[in-house]
Structures are given as C-alpha cells and as structure tokens.
Chains A and B, each alone.
Chain A
Amino acid sequence: MGEDKSTYTDHVISLLVFNHPGVLSKITSLITRRGFNIDSIAAGPTKEKDMFRLTIMVKGDDRSIEQIQKQLYKIVDTFKIMTIHPARKVEREIGLIKVKAPMGERNEVLQMVNVFKGSILDSSTSGFVVEITGSSDKVDSFISLFPSNQIVEVARTGIVAMDRWEKQ
C-alpha cells in the first residue's frame, strides 16, 4: 500500500459497537496493527443501551481508510460503521486548558477566552482553567495563541462527529 504520505488527510470514522468486554482494545489494536496512528478517539453510550459509539480520527489516503473500515467491520462486535463526510460533518471537541495569567496579563487572557466563546472553569492568582468547545481547529487555534510556556496543561476529549441532516 502507498507509502506516499502527501495524499494523507484527516478522516473521521464513526462506529457503533456492542459494549462487550475488550471491544475497545480490539478496535484500537486492529488500527495500530494495520499501520495507522490514531489522532483521537472518543467513546460514549448511545440511545441503544448495549451499544456505544466511537469516533476515531486517523490520517490516511482514501484507499487505506477504506481498507481500515473494512477491517473494522470484521470485528464481530462492530454493528455499524459510518464515514463522516468532511463536507457534511458537524463536529465538537472540548479542550480544558490551564493557562498562566499572572496579575497584569489577566485581561488579555480573558479577552481571548471571550473571543473564543470559552468559559472560565477555575481561576486563581496564577491563572485560569479555560474550557473551549468547538471544532478541533478552534481548540488548536486557541492554544496556539499563547507561548508554550504559558500553557501548563491541556486535556482534550477528541472529537465527536456526525453527519448533518440530508438537505430536503
């Protein structure tokens, strides 16, 4: 399979899987074994009580992504796989960012949080814990506003995504 990484793009794969023991490790180890890196993964319950939904972001070309989907489908606990179409997707990620904000710099940080429609979850004289919700890009760009030594800690959920309603 092609080694040329220039054609690689981000792909979001969404799976409905049965909540059986070991299913998460089956899925992640299969993806790794077939030579892919997982950029992010998010898992949570669905409206069906014995199923959960995984949203996985991987890089690859179209052909290799198709291959990985077919392989994932062969896991017996996989019920359904959905490709999230880039043009039609709605996606969200939450990032918690602990950012230094000593006296004198606090206003500047608060302004940024406002621009990004984030919220302050915790504040102390040293700084804030900020929540940013939105696309992965949005979380990325918030973080990139600060020099790296100003960011103390980052925790991100990984994206969750689904297709929009079909246009009527």
Chain B
Amino acid sequence: MKGARILVEALKKEGVDTLFCYNGGAVISIFDELYTHGKEINLIQPRHEQGGTHAADGYARSTGKAGVVLVTSGPGATNTVTGIATAYMDSVPLVVFTGQVSTGMIGTDAFQEADTVGITMPITKANFLVKNVDELAPTVKKAFHLATTGRPGPVVVDIPKDVQMDETEFVYPLTPDLPGYRPKDSGHPRQVKTLKKYLHEARKPVVISGGGVNSAGATELMNEFCDRYGIPVVTTLLGHGVSPQHEELNYGPIGMHGGLYGNYALQNCDLLMAFGTRFSDRIMGDPDVFAEQARIVHVDIDAAEIGKNVSVDLPIVGPISGVLEELNREESYGDYSEWVEELRTYRDKNPLEFEQSEVLKPQYLIQLAQKYFPENTIVASDVGQNQMWVAQYFHFHRGRRLLTSGGLGTMGYGLPAAIGAAVGNPDAQVLTVSGDGGFQMNMQEMATVKQYGLKVKILVLDNSCLGMVRQWQQLLFDKRYSGTCMNDNPDFGLMAKAMGIPSMKLEKVSEAEQTMKAFAESEGSMLLHAVIEGEENVVPMVPAGKPLDQVIRKM
C-alpha cells in the first residue's frame, strides 16, 4: 500500500471524522487517496491554513476529540504555526500533518521546503519527520496517543512526498511504541489523603478551576465537589464551565480582569486548591503576595507545572477526574458556611457592573446574548476587550462551551474556532464574539461558513479601535492613541453579503433587545455588526504584576 493511502487508512482507524485541510503540491497524492478511500471523512477546506488550524482547535476544544489538520509543505506548514502555538499554550489536542519535499531534497532549499520540524519544535508536544514509509503508521499511532493523553497538546507529523508514494504493508499498531512516555494515571493516594486532612482543617477553602478541568471533562465532578461540601469556586479564563447549582458558591473569573469578589476569595482563603491551571501571570498579579494566608494545593497532570510559577504546599500529580472522584467519596469535610456568607456579602457589595448610557455598551450586548441564546450555546471569543466582556458577563453552565485563546492571546481566533465548533457540534448553537480588529484578521473564513452551510452567529463589537491596547494607552500612555485607531473599517455587513452571509447592523440602545433576539433566533448564519461605545474599558483591572487587591475599579 502506498504511504498516502496508509495515512488515510490510519486516520480511519483513529476514528477521524473531520479533516481541516488545504491542498498543495506536497500533499496532492494524499488528497487523491481521500477522494477514493476517504468518503467517511468530512473534508473542511478553510480559506487560509491559519483558519484551518484554529478551526481544528475549536473542534477539539468543543468535542474533546483531537482536531486533525492536513496542509502542504513550506507556506502551508508555516501558515499553521500561529494555530499550533495557540493550541500548545492552551493544551489543545491537535494532530497536524504537513507535506514535505522528498527525502532526497531535504536540506537543499528545494521549492516549498521549510524545516517544519525545526520551526514547530518549541510549540508542539512532540513532532516527527517520517523518513521511511515503514514508520508512517506507527508514527500516526504515536501522534494521536501523544496529542490526546496526559497533558494534551499539538503534534506535528511531517511526511515527505516520496514517503507518500513508497509502498509497504499496512499494519496499524494496537499500542504506540513510546517507552519514555508514562503520564500518571492516578494522584498519589497519600497526597490525596493529605488534601482531605487539609479540607477538614480549613475554614476558608477555595477551588480554582483551570483549563485542565475542561480538557479532562471534569466540570460535572467539580460541580459535585463544590455543591456537596459547600466549597466556593473561581475560574480561570480557560476554566469556565464549572457551575455549581448553589449560586452562592460560584465566584466567577479571577485575575487581571476578574471580579473583585473572585480575587477577594483568593486573597483571603486559607486553603487554595488549584485544579489544572498553570498559575499564569494574568491570574496571580504579584506572585509574592498571592494567596498569602493560604495553604496551596496544586493538582495537575503535568508535573512540570507544579512549582513552576508558585510554591505549593501540596503537589498532586495526576488526572483531575480521579482526584475529584476520590475527594467526592468523603462523607463531609468542614463547615464553611461562615466563609461562604462572607464571600456572598462581599459580592453583594461589590458586584460586577457597568454604567448604561445612550451609547451601546458591549457588556449590555453580552448580557442580551446570554438572554436570547440557548443555555448551551458554544461561544468562541476573539482576543481583547471583547474576550474579557464575554468572560465576565456570559455565564457558562457546561464545560467546553467557551472557546478562547488564553495563553497565546491570538487575535483572529474566534471566527475559525467557531467554524470548527459548528462542524463538530452540528446541533449546537455557535456564537462568535470579536472586536473589529481581530475579526478582520480571519474574516475570509466567512466564505467557509457559507460553503459548508454552517450555523455560525458572528457578533462584531465595533469600537473603531484596537480596544484593549487603547485601554492600556489610556491608562499608561496618557491617551496617546498611536497605532490603535481603526476609523476606516470596511462595511462589515457588505463584506458578509459578498460572502453570502446575511447581516444586521445595530447602533441604538433602544433597538438592542429586539435585534439581539432576531439575531439569536435567525436560521443559519448571520453577522451582527454592533457599533459600541469607543472608549469603554474593561474593569475591574489589576495592572500587570500588581497584587490582586490593588485594583482599578473604574476608568
């Protein structure tokens, strides 16, 4: 069997149902095999390989399965780099297949040659150059195993043209040959026991739910943990989706743009249990005074995350689900009702709020979206202020429902990620929210939405500027708005129309409710161009590197 066919058969063995792919000289023979032997695989062709990679990422985050990409060598491969780096920073399982020039030509600067393995080394969990057709099937096996187990992440498999043409017998291994790769399958029982002891001793416990809780599919277990024992929870940007039934236990987003009460909970707790988070600088502010009075327990599948950014009192390396199941077995822990009461009172006095005005407020629009979109809507945000307003004002009741580029902060992520989510969840309502800047980074993908008849609702919050950077200029550079004005934006409605997508424009507060309702209830895809207040800021805001309680409430 030819290498190209082997790849197709291997994808079928892995149960791949969707391939985000873009053709070119170094993968043409693989597309040819897909034509005859890949009927069960849905091919989604984006308009740019970056879009395709973000789409695979959105597919992966929303379904929990690996997102699979196929692109040609050289520029095809380099166009995926931003998408791969985005997935790497947020631990998203991707398998990216790239064509490569023939083995004999490697190193000669041949036409469309790029050192894909070299370029992607620091942004992949693992990467492979397949030099021999006999290695192809075993490498595909390894790639899927590595991408989806332990701490998930992107894996690149680079396949030279001659390897695609060479023949060998197709044998798909049952298990990957990876003797050096042994992710932990359970947390150390003694450590978990110590955590239980801490829980018995604590009076003010708090859980941080991080992205690992989502990727482990453990949001339900986390809800149970919080509800059963009355433990308050806060979330990182990637940890949204945890939603205890008891509202007084949910203290929402934390960090730079977290609510005052979420950060208050962190700074005043006596036991901090962090699940699947890497304590990024956006979460901690000033690490020296972060959760100073608390014992810190860190549960993570990746040993290298523990102790990296914060010193912990109790490390637990292992899968989050297993640890939560074990914790949930206990009859009871302490009585934390006084602490919950303290937090609730604090929140009542310091709610998340914005001022309504004559001009459209983005926060209000997000609230309206929450009101008119179904509860389980998948929301793909872009990056910037729009992302923070989604995180603050849209409440997610289930895991895998907020798709957002947290670690890399990639503008242009939202629309293609929404495409991937729509492909992977045909029955779900999918909404993408972006700013006018980020939307223009990948707006060509509206053509993909149209081509595949996807139901994607596109909300563009147009403040005619790169809002988040403008906000920093307002705060730190005396409003010298250099390189942030976007006064000559295209007519987004016309752009959508050109690509076959209907649109609406919203400018008046008085029309907001009915427009949002019509937008949410419309059939198929739709773009809503909302002209919002130009100088609105995201608050609260903890300036970078400052303690979490040195917060700007109003700007």
Q: Which A residues fall within an 8 A CB radius of B?
A: 1, 17-18, 21-22, 25-26, 29-30, 33, 63, 66-67, 70-71, 73-80
The answer to whether B302 touches A74, judged by C-beta atoms less than 8 angstroms apart, is yes
The answer to whether A73 touches B304, judged by C-beta atoms less than 8 angstroms apart, is yes
| Chain B residue at minimal CB-CB distance from A63 | B307
| Chain A residue at minimal CB-CB distance from B155 | A76
For A26, A70, A73, which residue has the most chain B Cβ atoms within 10 angstroms? A70
Is B110 in contact with chain A by the CB < 8 A criterion?
no
Is B146 in contact with chain A by the CB < 8 A criterion?
yes
Q: Considering the chains assembled together, what is the distance between the CA atoms of A3 and B370 in angstroms?
A: 45
Q: Which of B125, B126, B303 contacts A73 (CB 8 A)?
A: B303
**Closest 3 pairs (CB-CB, A-B):** A70-B304, A79-B180, A76-B126
A76-B180, A78-B180, A79-B180 known; A29 vs B307 contact (CB < 8 Å): no
Which residues 305-326 of B have a CB within 8 angstroms of A? 307-309
The answer to whether B304 touches A76, judged by C-beta atoms less than 8 angstroms apart, is no
> Inside 8 A of B126's CB, which chain A residues have their CB?
75-76
> Inside 8 A of A21's CB, which chain B residues have their CB?
129, 131
Q: Considering the chains assembled together, what is the distance between the CA atoms of A17 and B181 in angstroms?
A: 12
Is B121 in contact with chain A by the CB < 8 A criterion?
yes
Is B117 in contact with chain A by the CB < 8 A criterion?
yes
Task: Please report the total number of B residues contacting A with Cβ < 8 Å.
Answer: 20
The answer to whether A18 touches B180, judged by C-beta atoms less than 8 angstroms apart, is yes
Is B122 in contact with chain A by the CB < 8 A criterion?
yes
A18 to chain B, nearest CB (A): 6
> Inside 8 A of B302's CB, which chain A residues have their CB?
74
| Chain A residue at minimal CB-CB distance from B142 | A76
B374 to chain A, nearest CB (A): 40
B235 to chain A, nearest CB (A): 26
A67-B307, A74-B304 known; A25 vs B121 contact (CB < 8 Å): yes
Q: Considering the chains assembled together, what is the distance between the CA atoms of A73 and B307 in angstroms?
A: 15
Is B174 in contact with chain A by the CB < 8 A criterion?
no
The answer to whether B180 touches A70, judged by C-beta atoms less than 8 angstroms apart, is no
Q: Considering the chains assembled together, what is the distance between the CA atoms of A98 and B308 in angstroms?
A: 44
> Inside 8 A of A70's CB, which chain B residues have their CB?
303-304
Q: Which of A29, A67, A76 contacts B308 (CB 8 A)?
A: A67
| 0/1 string, B130-158, CB within 8 A of A gives 1 | 01000000000010001000000000000
The answer to whether B307 touches A66, judged by C-beta atoms less than 8 angstroms apart, is yes
Q: Considering the chains assembled together, what is the distance between the CA atoms of A76 and B142 in angstroms?
A: 10
The answer to whether A77 touches B131, judged by C-beta atoms less than 8 angstroms apart, is no
Q: Considering the chains assembled together, what is the distance between the CA atoms of A1 and B142 in angstroms?
A: 34
Q: Considering the chains assembled together, what is the distance between the CA atoms of A66 and B304 in angstroms?
A: 9
The answer to whether A22 touches B308, judged by C-beta atoms less than 8 angstroms apart, is no
The answer to whether B122 touches A33, judged by C-beta atoms less than 8 angstroms apart, is yes
Q: Which B residues fall within an 8 A CB radius of A?
A: 117-118, 121-122, 125-126, 129, 131, 142, 146, 178-181, 302-304, 307-309
| Chain A residue at minimal CB-CB distance from B153 | A74
A15 to chain B, nearest CB (A): 10
> Inside 8 A of B146's CB, which chain A residues have their CB?
76
22 A-B pairs with C-beta separation under 8 A: A18-B179, A18-B180, A21-B129, A21-B131, A22-B129, A25-B118, A29-B122, A33-B122, A63-B307, A67-B307, A67-B308, A71-B304, A74-B125, A74-B304, A75-B126, A75-B180, A76-B125, A76-B178, A76-B180, A76-B181, A78-B180, A79-B179
The answer to whether A22 touches B117, judged by C-beta atoms less than 8 angstroms apart, is yes
B480 to chain A, nearest CB (A): 31
Q: Considering the chains assembled together, what is the distance between the CA atoms of A17 and B180 in angstroms?
A: 8
> Inside 8 A of A22's CB, which chain B residues have their CB?
117, 121, 129
B403 to chain A, nearest CB (A): 25
A136 to chain B, nearest CB (A): 29
| Chain A residue at minimal CB-CB distance from B176 | A76
Q: Considering the chains assembled together, what is the distance between the CA atoms of A167 and B178 in angstroms?
A: 34
> Inside 8 A of B308's CB, which chain A residues have their CB?
1, 67
> Inside 8 A of B303's CB, which chain A residues have their CB?
70, 73
For A1, A33, A71, A76, which residue has the most chain B Cβ atoms within 10 angstroms? A76
Q: Considering the chains assembled together, what is the distance between the CA atoms of A33 and B180 in angstroms?
A: 22
Q: Considering the chains assembled together, what is the distance between the CA atoms of A73 and B146 in angstroms?
A: 14
> Inside 8 A of A18's CB, which chain B residues have their CB?
179-180
A90 to chain B, nearest CB (A): 26
Q: Considering the chains assembled together, what is the distance between the CA atoms of A33 and B88 in angstroms?
A: 15
Q: Considering the chains assembled together, what is the distance between the CA atoms of A66 and B118 in angstroms?
A: 26
Given contacts A17-B180, A22-B121, A74-B302, 20 further A-B contacts (CB under 8 A): A1-B309, A18-B179, A18-B180, A22-B117, A25-B121, A26-B121, A29-B121, A30-B122, A63-B307, A66-B307, A67-B307, A71-B304, A73-B304, A74-B125, A74-B304, A75-B180, A76-B146, A76-B181, A77-B180, A79-B179
> Inside 8 A of A80's CB, which chain B residues have their CB?
180
Q: Considering the chains assembled together, what is the distance between the CA atoms of A26 and B118 in angstroms?
A: 9
> Inside 8 A of A25's CB, which chain B residues have their CB?
118, 121
> Inside 8 A of B125's CB, which chain A residues have their CB?
74, 76
| Chain A residue at minimal CB-CB distance from B179 | A79
Q: Considering the chains assembled together, what is the distance between the CA atoms of A150 and B512 in angstroms?
A: 84
